[in-house]
Amino acid sequence: MTDTPAVRPHVTFEVETTVPTTHGTFRMRAYRDLDTGADHVAIVSGQPTDGALVRVHSECLTGEAFGSLKCECGPQLDAALDTIHNHGGVVIYLRGHEGRGIGLINKLRAYKLQEEGLDTLDANLALGLPADAREYVAAADILRDLGIESVRLLSNNPDKRNQLTAHGIEVAELVPLVVGVGTFNESYLDTKRDRMGHQLPDHLDTGYEAS
């Protein structure tokens, strides 16, 4: 009889603490990524179990810290934190995912190419980089550490669903998160929908500017 080989973990749990924020008070659990060295955070509200509402959110310095209107990342994070505070759940904040995984400097290089007429996907490709380099195995390991094997995923991105499923997390449904739409990111969101398969409306309401 051959023993089944142990599955190598991709993260290690480091510390949990309680943090009051403008969105409410959360438990924050920090993890070290054993593949990349990045530090990730699970922001937890209530006592989530299987079927919990979960947002897997990629770090975006330009959108979250600097208020860039080229994307909707800042408003998405705010909305996700408000939602889990009100209903319970988890936001997994993945660091090292800037610019869909290409890094801050390459993201700004891609912005420059977009000023010259390329869309967000072609700008990455013109730099010799993947359209989306993100991996979600760390998020799956974090969910398992929290005792969660199935989720309602707060996302418009089917690739997140597919990757979590491939890593053993059941995704019962994608819960839409359409916020932060404005005139500066309309083309960016159109590209997400038309070329990357994101589940967004055919006609985006640009009456709201992210702030």
Statement: residue 39 has pLDDT above 60:
yes
Statement: residue 198 has pLDDT above 50:
yes
Confidence of residue 11 (pLDDT cuts 50, 70, 90): very high
Statement: residue 29 has pLDDT above 90:
yes
Average pLDDT over residues 84-100: 95
Confidence of residue 92 (pLDDT cuts 50, 70, 90): very high
Residues forming the active site: 132, 134
Average pLDDT over residues 7-14: 90
Q: Residue ranges per domain, the chain?
A: 12-97+134-196
Q: Is 56 part of any known ligand binding site?
A: yes
Q: Is 89 part of any known ligand binding site?
A: no
Regarding beta strands 170-175 and 150-154, do their DSSP bridges make them parallel or antiparallel, or are they unpaired?
parallel
Q: Do the beta carbons of residue 29 and residue 16 sit within 8 Å?
A: yes
Statement: residue 109 has pLDDT above 90:
yes
- Kindly report, residue by residue over 131-165, the tens digit of the pLDDT: 888 899 999 999 999 999 999 999 988 889 999 99
Q: What is the reported pLDDT for 194?
A: 65
pTM, entire model: 0.87
Q: Is 144 part of any known ligand binding site?
A: no
Q: Is 120 part of any known ligand binding site?
A: yes
Given CATH 3.40.50.10990, say whether it is the number of domain 12-97+134-196.
yes
Average pLDDT over residues 106-131: 90
Statement: residue 210 has pLDDT above 60:
no
Q: What is the reported pLDDT for 209?
A: 38
Q: Is 58 part of any known ligand binding site?
A: yes
- Kindly report, residue by residue over 68-83, the tens digit of the pLDDT: 998 889 999 999 999 9
Confidence of residue 200 (pLDDT cuts 50, 70, 90): low
Q: Is 85 part of any known ligand binding site?
A: no
